[in-house]
């Protein structure tokens, strides 16, 4: 066992590998059976901090933990029954809805702010689990060697995940990865293990900058001698093979987003790539490794061009009517959601109650 791991207790080491395991399991599980995945993540997110405390580790609050905790407290408050006077004071729109229906049958009955308390309580446990998972991860991976090891594991996983997603795109089947659960009915836009390809693209869009950083870390940098000496040292460096593999994984990740046919995911990926490029240009220490990032971008675009841009272009063409208008129902939902907001601007109708609030208002 490396010396850096020898000072870690068995419980803390178990939590580290459990966090890494969950980071790989959730994308596989969340896409098709999200209910079970959320339950496991919520339960472990609440349990792992207790296990770390039992191991003797001092937990430090990471940035953003306080507002996240207050948000979880607000979700729990939305499920608590309140007297009519309080409801009229803090949510006039919701109280008027109750006066037209529920309070006619049960005058003066206490009601929670949430239209569906069970759904809101479910959201409370989900976000509380996320908060616990965030607390554990930020306390575990403060050591640079641990953080780099975690990033390497995630990079290898995304490489396999994206590769299988691309294979499944060209060789489709009726089951998730040809072996597991059947795809739900009325899903034609699935990708990898995700029922909705937009969700897969969102995942890769968030992780892609980390893939590039992992590649730049792994890729050797030689900044001495003439060009011939630097090229010789680069090609004979033991890190070169890992840098090339991580670069290939970054290319697979970007290409897989294009073939997921997600318009928002594609635009988000291009936007994050541009921001990352600007940040790398601003850091003079990384100028020697900028070529690797440029090669990743060019190779991804060329590779998609070889397979054909037609599916993605067809997907973008469905965004507009022939007259030029935007063909997307999201705009109607956004406009209606704005009206919902003004009905109860301070309290809302409860987390995860859009399906309940939309037909009411």
User: From the CA atom positions of the chain, what is the Rg in Å?
Assistant: 25
What is the residue extent of each domain of the chain?
Answer: 1-79+114-141, 80-113+323-360, 143-318
Check residue 69 and give its pLDDT. Answer: 93
What residues does 175 pair with on adjacent strands?
A: 182
What number is the average pLDDT over the span 230-244?
A: 67
Mean pLDDT, all residues of the chain: 79
Q: Quick one: which of 356, 343, 333 has its CA closest to 117? A: 356
Residue 204 or 356, more confident: 204
Q: pLDDT tens for residues 49-73?
A: 888 887 777 788 899 999 999 999 9
Asked if residue 199 has pLDDT above 50, the reply is yes
Asked if residue 120 has pLDDT above 90, the reply is yes
């Amino acid at each position: 066992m490396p010396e850096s791991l020898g000072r870690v207790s068995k419980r803390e080491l178990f939590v580290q590998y459990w966090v890494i395991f969950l980071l790989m399991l959730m994308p596989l599980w969340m896409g098709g059976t999200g209910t079970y995945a959320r339950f496991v993540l919520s339960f472990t997110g609440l349990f792992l901090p207790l296990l770390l405390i039992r191991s003797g580790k001092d937990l430090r609050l990471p940035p953003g933990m306080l507002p996240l905790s207050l948000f979880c407290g607000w979700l729990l408050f939305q499920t608590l029954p309140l007297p009519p006077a309080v409801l009229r004071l803090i949510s006039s729109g919701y109280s008027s809805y109750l006066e037209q229906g529920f309070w006619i049958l049960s005058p003066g009955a206490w009601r929670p702010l949430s239209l569906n308390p069970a759904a809101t309580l479910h959201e409370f446990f989900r976000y509380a689990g996320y908060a616990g998972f965030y607390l554990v991860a930020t306390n575990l991976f403060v050591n640079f060697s641990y953080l780099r090891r975690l990033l390497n594991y995630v990079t290898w996983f995304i490489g396999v995940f994206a590769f299988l997603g691309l294979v499944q795109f060209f060789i489709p089947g009726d089951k998730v990865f040809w072996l597991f659960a059947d795809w739900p009915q009325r899903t034609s836009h699935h990708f990898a293990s995700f029922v909705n390809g937009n969700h897969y693209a969102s995942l890769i869009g968030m992780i892609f900058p980390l893939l590039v950083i992992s590649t730049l870390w792994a890729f050797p940098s030689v900044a001495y001698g003439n060009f011939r000496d630097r090229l010789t040292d680069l090609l004979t460096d033991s890190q070169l093979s890992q840098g090339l593999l991580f670069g290939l994984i970054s290319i697979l990740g970007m290409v897989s987003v294009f073939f997921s046919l997600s318009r928002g995911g594609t635009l988000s990926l291009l936007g994050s790539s541009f921001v990352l490029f600007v940040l790398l240009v601003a850091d003079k220490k990384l100028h020697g490794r900028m070529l690797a990032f440029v090669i990743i971008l060019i190779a991804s675009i060329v590779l998609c061009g070889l397979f054909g841009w037609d599916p993605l272009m067809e997907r973008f063409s469905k965004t507009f009517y022939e007259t030029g208008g935007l063909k997307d129902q999201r705009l109607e939902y956004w406009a209606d959601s704005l009206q919902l907001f003004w009905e109860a601007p301070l309290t809302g109708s409860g987390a995860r109650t859009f399906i309940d609030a939309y037909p009411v208002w």
